[in-house]
Amino acid sequence: MASKNSDIIDDHSSGKGVESKGVDSSVGDPELGQDLHVSLGQSEKGSNLKLDKTGLPLVPQPSDDPSDPLNFPQWVKVAILLQVSFLALLGPLNQATVNPAFVPLAAHFRISTVEASYQTTIAIAFAGIGSFVWVPLANTYGRRPILLFTTLIAAASSLGSGKALTWSQLIATRVLNGLGTSSFFTLGAGMVSDTFFLHEKGRAMGIFTVFLTNSAHIAPIPGGFLGQFVSYRWCYYLPAILDFAMFVIMLFCLPETLYLRGSTPVVTDKPILRRMKLWGLRPEGKHLEAADFLRQLIMYPTVVLTALYYSVTFTLSSILPAVTSATLFRRLYKFNASQTGLALGIGTLVGSTLGELLGGVVVDRSMYLNRKGKKDGGIVPEIRLQGIWVGAILQPIGLLIWGFCIQYKTPYIGPTMGFGIMCFAIQIISTVLYSYNADCYRPQTSEIAQVLNFARQTVGMTTGFWSIPLGDSIGFQWMAVTMALVGLVTFLPVVYLMFHGKTIRGRMGAPTYNSGF
């Protein structure tokens, strides 16, 4: 993976192929206006801009401080990306590994399989809530110590879930597991934004989101075999082991990426090693305040509208198959836990991987071609939204295939292809929306990821309560039609943003908090 991703950066950050020239940042298309000045970061009018090897300005502009994450060597950036991406994978893995084992889990606690799904629902819900605590703490004390702390919480709580003797004990440990894993989704996206330039962010975010999206698809494969041949308890022990292993890796390999632009450079010949400290890297003058927890609730239309669409499509494309397959595949095809895990895992994994191969590359390429046509290399973030069309069209198609195949009891390959298509689509949608929002408000990327995560987890947690009862009541084909229409309605505001997003952002103004990051 590392060798594959080594071309993410063209050595811009390490100084190779980078030039500094006297370029007037005010020159260019006047329609770009504020977007160009904001995207160039701290560059002043008439200042020397650092360019990439194609001659376009680097966005954002890196400082001259070797401790600036934008100046990290290529291999360090890739290492950071892979670590936070694998951590993002562990979040849903903690929640979803047990999904194919609902039958033995339900039998042990003497409940129905639908009730057994509630422990996943609880974990998903609290994974959306916890980030409201972790993001402000990370913005003050650093992303590294908070990630290490929450990874230990995730490991301990997952181990506790496997040891639980009563249903109430299991629910309590799942609450803690959701709180612990919530930082994986948000702080990881912030670290990606801390280290990558505009022209490479789409591919980097694509890698991050493919790990995030595919986790719930990989989880059923080992979960099915563990649940059938070993014990459902090992569906909790496995994530606990992986969480702890990731903690050890990050302890020695993950540097701090939180950096306040304009801060006084620290003279050191080992800037990366210095950023491996667990404390002492707090941004200058930054102190935790009550407002840090409250201001995250300030909603910007571009973030809220995209979060609404993302949460609906992610729920229908990823969470819906995950929480229904154990019941439906057993009912329709007499599948055991391992067979359900393979059908669910392979179909969704193939779809998401193919979606990533298309999504990130296409988004970055479109940004490059549009910037190349501008005299100053600037571009508005709404260009990224043009890459969403393939995903937006295929998502309801996959949903309809899944619903009709379930209702009319086609061979299992039918619904498997349906959620494979949905996962292909949601990977493109995720990459586009994460990259777009990060371009709009780069210093607030963690808060943006928090809103996206909260929306996804809040909407997704309801799936276990309504999906199978609704399908049994009105028919799974009509449930699919209804949900496809819901997705279409929530997509219309995204289309509006394609043409009017810049105007909306101009009226709202940029957030002032964390503006120095």
Rounded to two decimals, the pTM is: 0.72
Tell whether 268 is covered by a domain.
yes
Number of domains comprising the chain: 1
Q: In degrees, to the nearest 5, what angle opens at C-alpha 396 toward C-alphas 392 and 399?
A: 140
Evaluate whether residue 81 is within a structural domain. yes
10 Å CB burial of residue 244 (0-12, 13-18, 19+) is middle
Helix pair 118-129, 445-460: axis angle to 10 deg = 160
Phi/psi for 24 (5° steps) reads -80, 115
User: Is 384 domain-assigned?
Assistant: yes
Inter-residue contact 459 to 315 (CB < 8 Å): yes
The predicted pLDDT at position 295 comes to 67
| Containing structural domain, residue 329 | 69-508
pLDDT at 36 over 60: no
Calculate mean pLDDT across residues 432-443: 83
Express each pLDDT in 472-514 by its tens digit: 999 999 999 999 999 999 999 999 999 998 898 888 877 776 6
By the 8 A CB rule, do 321 and 171 touch?
no
**Are the C-beta atoms of residues 219 and 352 closer than 8 Å to each other?**
no
- Tokens 């060798």 belong to residue: 3
Does the pLDDT of residue 253 top 60, yes or no?
Answer: yes
Asked, for residue 31, whether it belongs to a domain, the answer is no
Residue 398 has what pLDDT? Answer: 93
Residue 517 has pLDDT above 60, yes or no: no
Nearest by Cα to 46 from 345, 444, 506, 376: 376
Domain assignment present for residue 82? The answer is: yes
Alpha helices in 110-233 (DSSP H): 113-116, 118-129, 131-141, 143-163, 167-195, 198-218, 220-225
The answer to whether position 515 is within a domain reads: no
Answer yes or no: is 503 within a domain. Answer: yes
> Could you tell me if residue 173 is inside a domain?
yes
Q: Any idea what the CATH number is for the domain that residue 172 is in?
A: 1.20.1250.20
pLDDT digit string, tens, across residues 324-355? 887 888 888 888 877 877 877 777 777 777 77
pLDDT band at 369 (very low <50, low <70, confident <90, very high): low
Within 10 angstroms of residue 53's Cβ, the number of other Cβ atoms is 12
Closest CA to 256 of 145, 144, 135, 141: 144
